[in-house]
Structure 1
Amino acid sequence: MKLKPVSMEVFAEARGEAHYVLARVMGDLAPGEYVLRLGVDMEGQERPLSAALPLTVEGTGSLDDLVGADGKRFDNFALLLACGLAQRLSYGVMYLRSPASEPDGPATVQAWRLAWGVLNGCTAAEAAELLGDGVQAVFVDAPGVHGGDDGEGEGIYPPEAYRIV
């Protein structure tokens, strides 16, 4: 894979934002087993890159819950997310599959669309359209995940994504 060069400062900010995004997603999880998936296309790539991050949350649904993730998978996921956030001409999708609330019920899925270095939460309808072919799941609206997101409007990370060079 050959990426367009970005400054070390931009990549460091993207890496920090990727870790913030993951902490925000992981901090909102109830006890159970989850899978976070990411697919990223970048300009000049032949195929999209993808990463999966299985997550386990143990506890009672309080702030003291323990979130477990394999270190190498976490690092790979965070690196791919940082690359997607740092590259202006990247696009893709990140989605979280949550366990079924009933023993034989469908899983719950939330999705975020990656475009121009920003992850925007998808509505349930958008997520179903994006991922729904043959997926046995209930789609729900995804919350904002960027630093400073209040659930209103778009995130604006990184500012360089909107500058024409």
Structure 2
Amino acid sequence: MKLKPVSLDVFAEAREEAHVVLAQGMGRLAPGEHVLRLGVGMDGQERPLSATLALTVEGDGGPEDMVGVEGRYFDNFVFLLACGLAQTLSYGVMYLRSPAVESGEGPSWTVQAWHLAWGVLSECSAAEAAELIGDGEVAAFVDAPGVHSEDDGDAEAVYPPVAYTIL
């Protein structure tokens, strides 16, 4: 299947939304080493494309914490997320692996996930995250927060599927 083209304006808006999503997510990270992974597939594509972004947060858990990322990996991640948000025939999952609060025994990682479908990135419950990712991750799955700005009203992506019509 051949994908329908999207206009440069739609892609620019999707790229802006990808930046908002990452800013919202990174603003909530506790100090430590985190890994954000994204897999995006589209109808007619044999295998999903993937991107990984290592995030290092230094600080005391306050608003002045410094988040470190490597530029080229950040750009690749934003590009792939923007592709998924701009194309309604996309699907995938984004998940964040973070250090667990030390509590003795138990998983040393927590995992949050977001489901990508029809150009919309939606948070997953802990149960949904475990179902999507579970087998390969030994972690505590937790409910994911919304990744869109508080101004988004109903917490949906800025780009509902109806916005992607052929121009």
Flag the 1:154–1:115 CA change in 2: closer, same or farther, 3 A: farther
1:149 positional shift = 4.5
* Residue pair 1:117, 1:157 contacting (<8 A) in 2 also: no
Flag the 1:109–1:85 CA change in 2: closer, same or farther, 3 A: same
* Residue pair 1:35, 1:98 contacting (<8 A) in 2 also: yes
**What TM-score, normalized by structure 1, do the two folds share?**
0.90
1:23 positional shift = 0.4
Other-structure match for 1:138: 140
Other-structure match for 1:12: 12
* Residue pair 2:152, 2:158 contacting (<8 A) in 1 also: no
Q: Which runs of 5+ in 1 are unaligned?
A: none
Letter in 1 for 2:123: G
Whole-angstrom distance in 1 between the partners of 2:15 and 2:4: 16
**1:110 counterpart = 2:121:** no
Q: In angstroms, what is the RMSD of aligned CA positions?
A: 1.8
Q: Percent identity?
A: 69
* Residue pair 1:85, 1:157 contacting (<8 A) in 2 also: no
The C-alpha deviation readout for 1:25-73, integer Å capped at 9, x for no partner, is 0000010000000000012211100000000000011111000000000
Q: Which runs of 5+ in 2 are unaligned?
A: none
Q: Counterparts in 2 of 1:83-98, with a 5 A limit?
A: 83-98=83-98
Indicate the SS of the match to 1:10: helix
Other-structure match for 1:22: 22
Other-structure match for 2:127: 125
Whole-angstrom distance in 1 between the partners of 2:53 and 2:136: 22
Letter in 2 for 1:110: Q
Q: Counterparts in 2 of 1:49-88, with a 5 A limit?
A: 49-88=49-88
1:154 positional shift = 5.2
Aligned pairs, number: 161
Flag the 1:70–1:156 CA change in 2: closer, same or farther, 3 A: closer
* Residue pair 1:36, 1:54 contacting (<8 A) in 2 also: yes
